[in-house]
Amino acid sequence: MCGISGTFGLADEQVIQEMTQAIVHRGPDDHGVYLDPIGKVALGHRRLSIIDLSAAGHQPMSYADGRYWITYNGEVYNYQEIRHDLEEQGYQFQSSTDTEIILAAYAEWDEACLQRLRGMFAFAIYDRGMPITGIDQPINSQRRLFLARDRFGIKPLYYAQVDGGIFLFASELKALLASGFISRQVDYQAIWDYLSLGSVPQPRTMLAQVKALPAGHAMTVCNGGQINIYRYWDIAANSGVSFPQAGTLNKTEASRELRRLFEEATRLHMIADVPVGAFLSGGIDSTAVVGLMSQYVSKPIKTYSVGFENRYAQLSELEWAKLAARHFKTDHTEVIVTGDEVAQSYDHLIQAIDQPSLDGTNTYFVSKATRTGVTVSLSGLGGDELFAGYNHFRRLKRGEAWGRFKRFWNYLDQYFPADILPDRYKAYLRFVASTSAARHAMIRRLADEENKQQIVNQRFLAHQNLRPLSELYLPWLEADLDAVSQVSYVELNGYLTNTLLRDADAMSMASALEVRPVLLDHILAEFIFALSPKLKLNRHQTKVIMIESLRDLLPEPIINRPKMGFQMPLFDWLCGPLQKRALAALSSAYAEAIFSPYFLGRSKEGLQTRQQQEVRLW
């Protein structure tokens, strides 16, 4: 796990040093830059040593003849298998790192190397177009930059192209800002989307000039500044190719294969030359990961969970985490977060998050504690999205019966005047008449388009071409999938990538902790996605096949416990230790430039009277 940065069209040492220094927290173990003044390229790197802790893992790294240079963030878990294949082709290696394997794989298979990588990654490879011969040659059309991001977007990659054709990229927005080429002009569409979702959907960011390379995408940048972006992986398309028979498996067959793939993914995710632990919430996903980890170790696993002081016990899962920790005999640590601690850590927390999110605070504090004991932490992220684990999957299942009356609902919505059928009822009719995935999208949003027009001011609304949220969902809703799989597809592309994974990376890397989501091993995930929805969900239970597969491993109380979404006492903190900061923020010129006086007034009133008027803003 590391931090990367670079420029193409500019080779300025001071610029690349500033960019790299801005993400020092991502890699405290080593630092490096590479400059090619002829090709006008600069690469920067901050290293968090995980595999091969020696100086041989220094980056940016070149392969043998110096034609290819890489700056890379992530882990490729099957690098030893790829190394073996390359050695059979005559390749030789100077280190035991996965970094060198990626370079050689690119030299051998070009961009198709991505299909062989199993892991999480964001990297940039600079192809000089010729080896170093001692006499540099003029720039030619072969020089290019190749950038790629892993299939689920576990690792971040941001980029911008500015005046003069200069291309910049980095792991975090703050590194791009440090270049001096990026303005702080906000993207109004990003704010508009954020008010609905609580996060900024890729490829947008809060900065108008900056984009995120979407998950499962790669891009090439050529000498003249031409950019080509393409998708190399999609779970809906790839799962059917990788596991064409998965949808026909019965419960016993599916359970057996799921267990095998889950065990394999867990073992691979534990590969490291540093201590490895795990987040343990006491939910099925994290408990399953810890249980499978326990099969491969002789010493107690270090596990970590987060909760709140006693008066917020109803929001905490600490008792469930302790139960799982006792069951697997882990070395368990509880992290208790208080409002005062949040207030004290506020500045660092805001700096770490990089751009607004409704999530992430819990990950910040549990990562901070986890880093004192281990460098790598395994996680159960992705289980709810893949196994239809959220409660709204069951609600949507029940809602399918209402959806059968679609023609009738649409008729009422279209022909009954508003004074006979009030808007709130018409909105409900539109809800039940829509597809399951569309109903899900409506459940997920924090505010609809009409609500948002009351939240922002007239100057904001004057910006033309603000896209409705429905356009964001359209590509995902067009996939030819059953209802459960379609909602899962929306969750994987939306909430998981834009909120959970983005926040997990930003908040864990603020403490130089590498988080590895085992369930997002793409081979395991493709198999799960391809299974019949009947094996994932019934009227009474979610994650059916996961529980069946691991029944001999999981504690019975964990299997039978009610689903509990993570919540924080945010409003109490805003009215207490964070109130002074919150009121100052509401009175700032930044807030007044975006939000309506009515909305700001209600928010201030809510904080001062402790009446929860508008918490969405925060």
Give 395-412 as a 3 state SS string. HHHHHHHHHCCHHHHHHH
Selection from 256, 289, 254, 285 nearest residue 528 by Cα: 254
pLDDT at 433: 52
Q: What pLDDT, in 10s, does the model give residues 168-181?
A: 999 999 999 999 99
| 559 to 164, 310, 532, 563: CA distances (angstroms) | 58, 25, 21, 10
Q: Please give the pLDDT value at position 428.
A: 43
The class level of CATH for 237-388+486-560 reads: alpha beta
Cis amide bond preceding 517, omega within 30 = no
Q: What is the pTM of this model?
A: 0.91
Structure tokens at 300: 């107690």
Q: Report residue 332: phi and psi, to 5°.
A: -100, 140
Q: How far is 71 from 188, CA to CA, in rounded Å? A: 32
Q: Quote the DSSP letter at residue 204.
A: B
Q: Is 2 a catalytic residue?
A: yes
What pLDDT does residue 80 have? 96
CA atoms within 13 A on the CB side of 616: 23
Give the span between the Cα atoms of 65 and 61, in whole angstroms: 12
Q: How far apart are CA 244 and CA 299, in angstroms?
A: 40
Catalytic residue among 2, 113, 222, 575: 2
How much is the pLDDT for 232? Answer: 98
- Rounded CA-CA distance 391/96 in Å is 44
Do 75 and 98 form a contact (C-beta atoms < 8 A)? yes
Residue corresponding to tokens 């008027």: 613
Q: Which residues pair with 239 in a beta bridge?
A: none
| Helix (H) or strand (E) segment spanning residue 336 | strand 331-337
- pLDDT by residue (tens digit) across 236-275? 999 988 898 989 999 999 999 999 999 999 999 999 999 9
DSSP assigned state of 110:
G
Nearest to 273 by CA among 552, 617, 1, 610: 1
Question: Within the chain, which residues score under 50 in pLDDT?
Answer: 134-135, 138-140, 402, 404-405, 408-409, 411-412, 414-421, 424-429, 431-432
391-403 and 436-444 helices cross at what angle (nearest 10)? 130
pLDDT at 480: 83
Q: Which of 271, 333, 338 is nearest to 308 (CA)?
A: 338
Helix ranges (H only) for 272-422 are 284-293, 318-327, 339-344, 346-353, 361-370, 383-386, 391-403, 406-415
CATH for 2-233 (3.90.550.10, 3.40.50.2000, 3.60.20.10, 1.20.1260.10) = 3.60.20.10
H helical segments located in 434-501: 436-444, 449-455, 458-461, 469-477, 483-491
Query: What single letter denotes the amino acid at residue 144?
Result: R
2, containing H or E segment: strand 2-8
Terminal Cα-to-Cα distance of the chain (whole angstroms): 30
Domain ranges for the chain = 2-233, 237-388+486-560, 391-448+466-484, 570-609
Give the pLDDT of residue 131: 62
Distance, CA of 42 to CA of 40 (rounded, Å): 7
Cα–Cα distance between 228 and 211 in angstroms, integer? Answer: 14
- Taking the C-alpha atoms of residue 261 and residue 510, their distance in angstroms, rounded to an integer, is 31
Q: Which residues contact 417 (CB under 8 A, 6 or more apart)?
A: none
